[in-house]
Amino acid sequence: MKTFDVEVRVWLKPSVFDPQGHAVEQALHTLGFDGAQNVRIGKYMHLTVTGESEEEARKSVEQMCERVLSNPVMETYAYELKETGV
Amino acid sequence: MKTFDVEVRVWLKPSVFDPQGHAVEQALHTLGFDGAQNVRIGKYMHLTVTGESEEEARKSVEQMCERVLSNPVMETYAYELKETGV
Amino acid sequence: MKWAVVVFPGSNCDEDAAQAVREATGDAVDLVWHDATDLSAYDAIILPGGFSYGDYLRSGAIARFSPAVEAVRREVAEGKLVLGICNGFQVLTESHLLPGALLRNNHLQFRCEMVELIVDNNTSPFTRAYQLGERIQIPIAHGEGRFHADPETVAGLRNEGRIAFRYADSPNGSVADIAGILGEGGNVLGLMPHPERAIFDWMGSVDGRRLFQSMHQYVEEGLAHARANA
Amino acid sequence: MREPTPEQIRDERVYRSLGLTDAEYDLVVEKLGRLPNYVEAGIFGVLWSEHCSYKSSKVHLRRFPTSGPQVLQGPGENAGVVDIGDGMAVAFKMESHNHPSAVEPYQGAATGVGGILRDIFTMGARPVAFLDSLRFGPLDDARTRYLFSEVVAGIGGYGNCVGIPTVGGEVQFSPTYRGNPLVNAMCVGILPADGIVRGTATGVGNPVFVVGARTGRDGIHGATFASAEDPEEKERSAVQVGDPFLGKLLMEACLELIASGAVVGIQDMGAAGLTSSSAEMASRAGGGLELVLDRVPVREEGMTPYEMMLSESQERMLVVLERGREQVAFDIFQRYGLEVADVGRVTDDGRLRLIWHGEVVGDMPVVALVDEAPVYERPIGPDITVESASIPTSLSAHEAWLAILAHPSVADKRWVYRQYDTMVRAQTVMGPGSDAALVKVPGMDKAIAMATDGNSRYVALNPRRGGQIAVAEAVRNLATTGAKPLAITNCLNFGNPEKPEVMRQLSDAIDGMADACKVLDTPVVSGNVSLYNESRGLDIQPTPVVGAVGVIDGIAKRLPSAPAREVAAGLELWLLGREDDRLDGTLYGELVCGQPVGDAPYIDLAEERRLHELLQAIAGAQVAVAAHDVTEGGIAAAVAEMMIQCDVGGEIHAPVEMELLGWLFSEAQGRALVAVEKDCAAELARLADTHAVPARKLGSLGATDDVVVRQAGDTAFTISLTALRDAFERAIPMALQSAAAGASA
Ligand SMILES: Nc1ncnc2c1ncn2[C@@H]1O[C@H](COP(=O)(O)OP(=O)(O)O)[C@@H](O)[C@H]1O
Ligand SMILES: [Mg+2]
């Protein structure tokens, strides 16, 4: 059994309005960070998973992303995975 | 003036209890993803910034992170920055 | 004495706080827009509950950059009384006028109900009308009220008598059951429960009145003292 | 993507995907005198959709009574308005957000709350309360638990943030809603009786503004798909995300703008966004509007006129100002950091004209869009035969009592409402947990009473009587607190109107509701219809939901639903209304048979009205300590709820001539339970007598820690109050314990 470090990022699909990103962008402008644009805020998740192989671990992470970690109606995800301690 | 793509990740310090990560971990176990452990949930932010140079852009992103995007009392952050269209 | 209630975009307990002050003390209250740069005309300032800037990013994180919060900082240094209720408490921790932070409730839900508080300090300008150890009924209404601070900070708060109120039965997982804390100078109080919702009998409790009356008494005594010395 | 040409729209029947039938398309061509282009066809499609035009229900809705001396504004505006005396009025309305909530429960519910909020403040009213009426499948299903948890979170997420208390509502669970949950939200606002603002675009040359959020590509075709039969189609509409923070700023800015007197007309951009708001405002004024689409602030680049007109981006309003006073608007909106754009002007040629890049891209008669939208007299199925059934009494009274209190429809809803801010604004006198909510009118010794109700089991069994009961129950909840009922709003959630049997349910239920509104003197002042509530070809049970509003002058008169614990022991319990032991339509019957059985429970509207008047008299004379109405679960549930709430047991006596089990669980209407002090009992009996309402001493509180049921002098049985409390309080939290499993992060 191997253990893998996984980082998942989940964000709203581009067509979905992100009120939080919008409000934060406005706030950044007020504070003088005029160059900040297109702010979108999503989730960043860190976890460890176990699996016989990297392939198996990837499969399970993908399932988790689709079923629990993201809401496919409005979100998209991406993840990175690497074996721990290697 | 150059434009940079920036990805910021913010997460709770290890000493701080993360109830959301805990709840997601439980949910994953209920669904049979027993190997999922140490789930921590933070924020993932995407934005673009402008600057004369990469160095200047980095400085400004660091300021944003420290002043606005994270709260050092309970959070840590990391970011990646790269020039767009390059 | 004269009170200010600062209104941030998204504040929603501003009128409630003003109503409570008028009812409990009979004093004059102004609602002051967040772009105010000078609050020196006021004897006490309330940062009210609500969702300033939608609580986006972190509650209180954006409001703390308002000109009014800079003005509050100056008045705190002058020894004026500043009361942050719920979102106001969050603004105070975000602006480091109070230590610690308020995180998402441990059960992840918004929670609104009457709770029992224990008065842990009855010598501050905010709590002098209560008995030490008294149990009072004040409603809460928050999703991010779990007080967090590192152990040294919590020990410091305890040793300096700066824990003003504790929950009898914590509704959110706060460290040391903290519901409200005092600032270093004793003239800033942040608390998650809403004393302005415990003013009239029909609200189910009138225990919030004495908080505003404590502040009134303290300020009036100070003003009388100043007049006598003048 | 290139838009289809007018000819392609005709030849390839593109109009079908825009929600128009062949016949409707032909009618559009006839009204226009030419082929519609893509944006025009899209506009007709949404405005003639069921959601916007009420084409299947309109002929029936006319049978509702809508007037009365208390009515200041009936149906037709953004919300109804009634007079509450002393120069004040309340505006209120209820709306459904069923389909969006089935797809994305959190945002669906949140945007439902945001939408109804805007309907209220556009009337010039300060919103003061929300109520939510929810229906889900059984909680043993993970998807249902997910929907339920997220819908509740979404309602709280929006309501709590905008700072308006959610003070009441209901949640019912039945297999009929498994594939099609219902989310109905109601908002109530206060305004001066002479301060009503309407959604009319009058005054030729007056400027028209879009204010609030930018227009994006969200929810294009939400209104059309809300009425589509195919669930796959329903899902195609993009998810709209609510921004309660912006919603709050928009509300404050609009109320300030209205107070400035510069507003001629204002309307929310709800379903079908810019299309319905502009067409409806022009229609009400009998005039026209010209919109320059290049000036609409957009969130995304490259948006077409079609997308701009059909977008359902949230938190936007259309405002017509008095010419010359534009600066007032600019100043106010700037202070709130909101966008405001001058997008056109009022015309007198009766046309909705759209200009883009200097060209006319759409030009349609307003009358054809709104007033002459098709109206259908859909076929109505045969009369529904109703038969009283004899229901097997296989569940013992003891078992049934516990099972009923543990049924999630009856069980304690604290898990729900403690996620809502029920007290913000600091005017809540009675919040959730009482029969009706009471919210004070600031600065006056007066409170608005409100409640929602709608039991679909009764309507499924006997639509007409079920409709009567829906109104009677909602209104009774007001009277039980001592308030005077004034008017109702409603949401008619039904199945597919193309099925004659569904139209029969709709028609009969409307007749029943109208009967009750007439007798109880509570006209219908606003409402909403949601059809095509079905999944996999199965229609939901017909579910009319009623939101009732009343007033109580003098908050000291209010009757809570249970006495305070300290005063409870020693109080007498009285039953007002008739004795009944029939199990028709009861929850007991459904528990035993697995489905609704028999006729709907007994109701007599004249008796009902006398009861309501009696309850007001009791409150007015301050004779009673508490009152609670008898509804689902019958006397057994009502007694248990009162005893659980005050945490004091007691005993009750069943009449000798009644079948005990039936008597405990009958859901006969027109009844209430009252707790009185011994000294006041005679006065209570006298008042009941003058109101010609049967009244009987049912038992008393205290003396025992359990609930003792007696008949003919003997103890029939005893049930532990602790067991009842556990059943009642734990049912929903326990069912949800595994809910986290279904929820996404
Ligand atoms: N979804 C909800 N939102 C707010 N309050 C609710 C909700 N569901 C139930 N409640 C409250 O719980 C109490 C009991 O509801 P219910 O059993 O439907 O009452 P009733 O039978 O008197 O109509 C009421 O005070 C009601 O307002
Ligand atoms: Mg009731």
**Cα-to-centroid distance, D629 and ligand 2 (Å):** 5
pLDDT (0 to 100) of residue D1: 57
The helix/strand/coil state of B37 is strand
Q: 10 Å Cβ neighbour count for D19?
A: 26
**Cα-to-centroid distance, D571 and ligand 2 (Å):** 20
User: What is the least distance, in Å, from the CA of A20 to any CA of chain C?
Assistant: 5
Q: Which residues in chain B are contacts of C61 at CB distance < 8 A?
A: 68, 71
D431 in contact with ligand 1, CB cutoff 6 A: no
Q: 10 Å Cβ neighbour count for B82?
A: 12
Q: Which residues of D58-89 are buried (b: 16+ CB within 10 A; e: fewer)?
A: eebbeebbbebebbbbbbebbbbbbbbeeebb
| Residues counted in chain A | 86
Q: 10 Å Cβ neighbour count for C22?
A: 15
For the domain made up of D559-745, the CATH class stated in words is alpha beta
pLDDT (0 to 100) of residue D300: 86
Q: Which of D132, D170, D450, D452 to mutate to test the pocket of ligand 1 (most atoms within 8 A of CB)?
A: D170
Scanning D433-526, the segments in alpha helix (DSSP H) are: 456-461, 463-480, 500-520
pLDDT (0 to 100) of residue A58: 96
Q: What angle do CA D464, D470, D472 make, to 5 degrees?
A: 100
D352 in contact with ligand 1, CB cutoff 6 A: no
Q: Which residues in chain D are contacts of B25 at CB distance < 8 A?
A: none
**Cα-to-centroid distance, D630 and ligand 2 (Å):** 7
Q: Quote the radius of gyration of chain C (alpha carbons, Å).
A: 16
Q: What's the CA gap between D645 and D412, in Å, rounded? A: 10
Q: Are strands B75-83 and C28-33 parallel, antiparallel or unpaired?
A: unpaired
Task: Determine the residue type at D22.
Answer: D
Confidence band for D301, pLDDT divided at 50, 70 and 90: confident
Closest CA to D112 of D95, D131, D136: D95
D290 in contact with ligand 1, CB cutoff 6 A: no
Q: What's the CA gap between D297 and C142, in Å, rounded? A: 35
* Residues with Cβ within 8 Å of residue C198, at least 6 apart in sequence: C136, C137, C138, C139, C204, C205, C206, C207, C208, C209
Domain boundaries, chain C: 2-229
Q: 10 Å Cβ neighbour count for C81?
A: 26
For the domain made up of C2-229, the CATH class stated in words is alpha beta
Pick the CATH number of B2-83 from 3.40.50.1100, 3.30.1280.10, 3.50.50.60, 3.20.20.70: 3.30.1280.10
Confidence band for D738, pLDDT divided at 50, 70 and 90: low
The helix/strand/coil state of C87 is helix
Q: 10 Å Cβ neighbour count for D443?
A: 9
Q: What's the CA gap between D509 and D468, in Å, rounded? A: 8
pLDDT tens-digit profile of D516-531?
A: 999 999 999 999 999 9
Hey, which residues of C are catalytic here? 86, 194, 196
Residue with CA at minimum distance from ligand 1 atom 16: D170
Q: Which ligand is nearest to the CA of D432?
A: 1
* Residues with Cβ within 8 Å of residue D694, at least 6 apart in sequence: D576, D577, D578, D579, D688
Neighbours of ion ligand 2 (CB under 5 A): D 435, 477, 629
pLDDT (0 to 100) of residue D220: 74
pLDDT tens-digit profile of B33-51?
A: 999 999 999 999 999 999 9
Show the tokens assigned to D315: 């938190």
Report whether pLDDT(D224) > 90.
Answer: no
Confidence band for D401, pLDDT divided at 50, 70 and 90: very high
More confident residue, D312 or D440: D440
Q: Can you tell me the mean pLDDT for D429-433?
A: 98
Q: What's the CA gap between D133 and C99, in Å, rounded? A: 42
B neighbour chains, 3+ CB pairs within 8 Å: A, C, D
Q: Can you tell me the mean pLDDT for D65-93?
A: 97
D316 in contact with ligand 1, CB cutoff 6 A: no
Q: What's the CA gap between D80 and D187, in Å, rounded? A: 11
Residues 39-98 of C with CB under 8 A from A: 53-54, 56-57, 62, 65
**Cα-to-centroid distance, D129 and ligand 1 (Å):** 14
Closest CA to D570 of D687, D655, D680: D680
Task: Determine the residue type at D51.
Answer: H
Q: What's the CA gap between C24 and D586, in Å, rounded? A: 50
Interface residue of B11, B46, B58, B76 to substitute, partner A, most A CBs within 10 Å: B46
The backbone torsions φ and ψ at residue D626, rounded to the nearest 5 degrees and listed phi first, read -155, 155
Report whether pLDDT(D428) > 50.
Answer: yes
Q: Which ligand is nearest to the CA of D479?
A: 2
Q: Which ligand is nearest to the CA of D437?
A: 1
Report whether pLDDT(D45) > 90.
Answer: yes
pLDDT tens-digit profile of D190-220?
A: 999 999 998 888 899 999 999 999 998 887 7
Report whether pLDDT(D233) > 80.
Answer: no
Domain boundaries, chain D: 559-745
Q: Per the CB < 8 Å rule, is C94 touching B15?
A: no
Assign 3-state DSSP to chain B and report helix, strand, coil percentages, each to 5.
Answer: 35, 40, 25
Q: What rounded mean pLDDT belongs to chain C? A: 97
pLDDT (0 to 100) of residue D308: 94
User: Residue A22: in which H helix or E strand, if any?
Assistant: helix A19-30
Residue with CA at minimum distance from ligand 1 atom 19: D435
Residue with CA at minimum distance from ligand 1 atom 17: D410
Give the bridge partners for D95, in sequence order: D185
Report whether pLDDT(D226) > 60.
Answer: no
Inter-CA distances, C29 with C196, D16, D146, Å: 14, 60, 45
User: What is the least distance, in Å, from the CA of B55 to any CA of chain D?
Assistant: 31
| pTM listed for this prediction | 0.96
Give the bridge partners for C3, in sequence order: C29, C44
Q: Which residues in chain B are contacts of C62 at CB distance < 8 A?
A: 68
**Cα-to-centroid distance, D623 and ligand 2 (Å):** 20
D432 in contact with ligand 1, CB cutoff 6 A: yes
Closest CA to D483 of D133, D82, D94: D82
Q: How far is CA A8 from the centre of its chain?
A: 4
Q: What's the CA gap between D296 and D276, in Å, rounded? A: 16
D427 in contact with ligand 1, CB cutoff 6 A: no
CB D84 within 8 A of CB D128: no
Report whether pLDDT(D231) > 60.
Answer: no
Show the tokens assigned to D597: 């059985």
Query: How many CB pairs below 8 A link A and C?
Result: 21
Query: How many CB pairs below 8 A link C and D?
Result: 82
Report whether pLDDT(D222) > 70.
Answer: no
Q: Which ligand is nearest to the CA of D136?
A: 1
Q: Are strands D80-85 and D88-96 parallel, antiparallel or unpaired?
A: antiparallel
pLDDT tens-digit profile of A38-84?
A: 999 999 999 999 999 999 999 999 999 999 999 988 999 999 999 99
Q: What share of chain C in percent tops pLDDT 90?
A: 98
The helix/strand/coil state of D363 is strand
* Residues with Cβ within 8 Å of residue D164, at least 6 apart in sequence: D117, D127, D128, D129, D130, D187, D424, D425
Domain boundaries, chain A: 2-83
Inter-CA distances, D617 with C38, C43, D439, Å: 55, 49, 20
Q: What's the CA gap between C62 and B69, in Å, rounded? A: 10
What ipTM describes this predicted complex? 0.95
Q: What's the CA gap between D147 and D482, in Å, rounded? A: 35
Q: What rounded mean pLDDT belongs to chain D? A: 94
User: What is the least distance, in Å, from the CA of D304 to any CA of chain A?
Assistant: 15
Interface residue of B1, B30, B39 to substitute, partner A, most A CBs within 10 Å: B39
pLDDT (0 to 100) of residue D415: 98
Q: How far is CA D17 from the centre of its chain?
A: 30
The string of DSSP letters for C110-136 reads -EEEEEEEEE--SSSTTTTTSPTT-EE
D417 in contact with ligand 1, CB cutoff 6 A: yes
Show the tokens assigned to B41: 């949930």
Report whether pLDDT(A12) > 60.
Answer: yes
Confidence band for A37, pLDDT divided at 50, 70 and 90: very high
CB C142 within 8 A of CB C172: yes
pLDDT (0 to 100) of residue D219: 72
Report whether pLDDT(D343) > 60.
Answer: yes
The backbone torsions φ and ψ at residue D137, rounded to the nearest 5 degrees and listed phi first, read -70, 180
Q: In chain A, which residues touch D (CB < 8 A)?
A: 10, 12, 15-19, 22-23, 26, 43, 45, 67-71, 73-74
Inter-CA distances, A82 with A42, A54, D646, Å: 22, 8, 59
Hey, which residues of D are catalytic here? 51, 97
Report whether pLDDT(D221) > 70.
Answer: no
The Cβ-side half-sphere exposure at C67, using a 13 Å CA radius, reads: 9
Report whether pLDDT(C48) > 70.
Answer: yes
Nearest to D745 among B30, B31, B41 (CB): B41
- Does D246 contact chain A (CB < 8 Å)? yes
Nearest to B68 among A31, A51, A57 (CB): A31
Strand order in the sheet with D446-453: D428-430, D437-440, D446-453, D543-553, D484-493, D524-530
Q: Are strands C44-47 and C81-85 parallel, antiparallel or unpaired?
A: parallel
For residue D432, which atom of ligand 1 is closest to its CA? 25
Confidence band for D272, pLDDT divided at 50, 70 and 90: confident
D413 in contact with ligand 1, CB cutoff 6 A: yes
Give the bridge partners for D190, in sequence order: D90, D126
Residues 135-164 of D with CB under 8 A from B: none
Show the tokens assigned to D620: 């007015």
Nearest to C106 among B15, B19, B74 (CB): B19
DSSP D600: P
Q: Can you tell me the mean pLDDT for D11-40?
A: 96
Burial class (CB in 10 A: 0-12, 13-18, 19+), D405: buried
Show the tokens assigned to D482: 């001592």
HEC sequence for D155-203: HHHHHHHHCCCEEEEEEEECHHHCCCCEEEEEEEEEEECCCCCCCCCCC
